[in-house]
Structure 1
């Protein structure tokens, strides 16, 4: 089969690769006014490690792309929580169709700008404090302002590229950027793993084989679980019964995909970023609370992380599907779910299904995120962040989503070829 270079799939694939390569090169543009070598002295700092992972290593050189889309993700979380009957105006916009979504998007971007400024200033001040003032060459307010604006500009550049990938490339732009960032860090993480597996008898091949088998099985489990769906039968009023055509409404078991994991990973870094900004003493109450409850190195922190994944799974399932709107669309198409009246009854039934699906989906996401993290923590600290279940979930989930989109594009392309051959004038 000849691969058509003019096909939409070909263009989308290479457009995505081009954007990711461009972002990678932008990650080498270091922000002026800082001594990036000082970052080597705090390389094991937990929140900075997570930020570096999400930005594809751009934080290692403190480039303009250092923060990636973390502030944008945080703003999305806040807006989605507030529109759930907390702020009436936001709730009204969420039900106002395309116009309302545009207003929510503008509000999210405005909040992203504010959060980016705060986060950039806090991180810069925190790193300067951790390095005893050697990170900032000239520690004036103007220097902090310029650095914050450059990092904020990098966040909006990342957001724009993410939108371009979603529109013209493959997959969800934000998720693709984060997955690409994690993949870019894998060679470094694997390199750091080698010394951890060495013992007095030589290299420990048994642990390495065990890790490969475990993560391979988890990957297969993730692919199977994320591809599974519940098919709800749907009937149309104008379609005759017994025609042999069956219609159904597919609902994935994990409806929001890897979004809850990304949200939880982003939220867990917020208190740690505030800790960097506040610069409290190690014995202060705030420092002890953050290190105990918002760290992936403690049992309590891991449990809170898992609870956030469960919460965001339930929240984002409702936000993404919108039962009322789905029931309304079915009614407009003169379609209905057997045994349920169109309208409110159908909406309540779909909402109940979403709650039922969110339970196994959220527990699965939590299990896969936490168990490999605990396992890796007892083998090598370099695996704690890099090859944890959360990273594996994000990478695998994004690849499955891209594979599903490619399949849809190929089907659409084949339909076009079929009709062209059938109706070609000779």
Structure 2
């Protein structure tokens, strides 16, 4: 028994050390400035667009400067969303590809999105010169940084704890810290009741965290009959469906996919500066306008349904039931079971979508009215993401404990 505990402790230390090393590399690359950039001009312009910087932080990006990891995991996250949508359509037979072929097409989509985002980002920043050589060099370096970051995330999934979640979490924490400093530092001395404000923010944060945990932990249980289980445990078998099937992942991926059209419009505006439609879109597609916030809320609502169906695949579950002989009382195996499960998935996804939109989306409308606090009003969504990430890490830690909690048969 002592040997098992010692081995488990050794595994934890090893995984924590790996994750620590990966985070050090990430933080180092996140602050390596690239050549041909006018850092002072970029720093001044970033002060005016810290809402976009905060949004980028949700993908591990660093938009306050042109650095090696400026794009973060955003292109890869956007590619994963598009890929899942194409798989769900089932018209391109993507679900029949082997892993090597699927990884190739995912990487190709990531590369295309990374190039678009890099070009869009570079058009909005001040460079020492904007020649083809300079732009192409920076695009290659920034795209390479994204792929290196994806590789780091995969290495953390294999050897560390948290996978890509850990990188996104630390990027988000850095952006949140920078935002609070920018918003409250200039006005802190002018506040009449600063401690009361801090207490109010903390109480609101605790409330959001508690509600998020309730939604993450609550589940609807559907009783299952297993013909191969003939004992007292057979009456305790059920299929759990979370109250919020998509979790907080829709918030993170929603910010990621919303940045793609943002960069495309920035790129097109640089090519066609006199186009009134592009100019209007460039001014309103961000989270500082009613149009941009509404677009984000709709995206968030839709992604909640999509990820709910992905996380709880009613068709796959029904097929597994049919193959194993399991069944739900009153429903025949196959289509009837699938439709029954899909009904509950849709209903619970609707609850989760409304919850995510209410917590992460609606406060941003207040930010349009009071722009100076718009970045702070993104914190509820970030707290949702933080809860989801921490619970994911907790589940991985529990899995490691269970995996290494058995005695050896032969000692």
Q: What TM-score do you get using the length of structure 1 for normalisation?
A: 0.85
Local SS of the residue matching 2:404 = helix
Aligned partner of 1:126 in structure 2 is 124
Distance 1:20 1:317, change over 3 A: same
Structure 1: distance between partners of 2:185 and 2:50: 20
1:287 and 2:285 are equivalent in the alignment: no
SS in 2 for 1:314: helix
- Check if 1:187 corresponds to 2:177: yes
Alignment deviations for residues 323-377 of structure 1 (CA, whole Å, 9 cap, x no partner): 2222222223222222222222222222222101101111111111024445666
Provide the residue aligned with 1:17 in structure 2. Answer: 20
Mapped contact 2:305–2:349 kept (Cα < 8 A): yes
Distance 1:243 1:296, change over 3 A: closer
Q: 1:385 to 1:269 in 2, by over 3 A?
A: farther
Distance 1:309 1:165, change over 3 A: same
- Is residue 214 from structure 1 mapped to residue 204 from structure 2 by the alignment? yes
SS of alignment partner, residue 63 of structure 2: helix
1:258 matched to which residue of 2?
248
C-alpha RMSD over aligned residues:
2.8
**Deviation for aligned residue 1:424:** 7.1
Question: In the alignment, what sits opposite 1:356?
Answer: 347
Q: Which residue of 97, 101, 104 corresponds with 2:102?
A: 104
Structure 1 residues 192 and 307: alpha-carbon distance in aligned structure 2, compared to 1, 3 A threshold: same
Distance (whole Å) between structure 1 residues aligned to residue 154 and residue 34 of structure 2: 24
- Superimposed CA distance per residue, residues 10-54 of structure 1 (whole angstroms, 9 cap, x where no aligned partner): 333332232122111112222122222221121122674146524
What CA distance in whole angstroms lies between the structure 2 residues aligned with 1:243 and 1:253?
25
What is the aligned partner in structure 2 of residue 367 from structure 1?
358
Q: Which residue of 2 aligns with 1:132?
A: none
**Conserved? CA contact 1:377–1:384, under 8 Å:** no
The number of equivalent residue pairs is: 405
106-115 or 148-157, which deviates more: 106-115
Equivalent residue number for residue 130 of structure 1: none
| Aligned partners of 1:55 and 1:181 also within 8 Å | yes
Alignment of 1:328-347 (within 5 A): 328-347=319-338
Larger deviation, residues 64-73 vs 251-260: 251-260
1:19-418 equivalences in 2 (<5 Å): 19-43=22-46, 44-45=48-49, 48-50=52-54, 52-54=56-58, 56=60, 58-85=62-89, 88-89=91-92, 92-94=93-95, 96=96, 99-127=97-125, 135-173=126-164, 175-195=165-185, 197-198=187-188, 200=190, 202=192, 204-240=194-230, 242=232, 246-277=236-267, 278-279=269-270, 281=273, 284-292=276-284, 294-374=285-365, 381=372, 384=375, 387-414=378-405, 416=406
Structure 2 distance, partners of 1:329, 1:7, is 37
Larger mean CA deviation between 41-50 and 20-29 belongs to 41-50
Q: What runs of 5+ residues in structure 2 fail to find an aligned partner?
A: none
Task: Indicate conservation of the 8 Å contact 1:16/1:165, yes or no.
Answer: yes
Aligned residue for 2:225, secondary structure, equals strand
Structure 1 distance, partners of 2:71, 2:182, is 23
Whether the 8 Å CA contact 2:156–2:162 is kept in 1: the answer is yes
- CA contact 1:59–1:65 (8 Å) conserved in 2: no
Contact 1:197 1:203 in 2 (8 A): no
Q: Is the 8 A contact 1:314 1:362 kept in 2?
A: yes
Q: Which digits, 9 at most, give the CA deviation of each residue in 1:84-113, with x for residues without a partner?
A: 33x722xx222x3xx445433321210111
**Structure showing greater relative contact order (alpha-carbon pairs closer than 8 Å, 6 or more residues apart):** 2
**Gaps spanning 5+ residues in structure 1: where?**
128-134
- Please tell me whether the aligned partners of residues 376 and 383 of structure 1 are also in contact (alpha carbons under 8 angstroms): yes
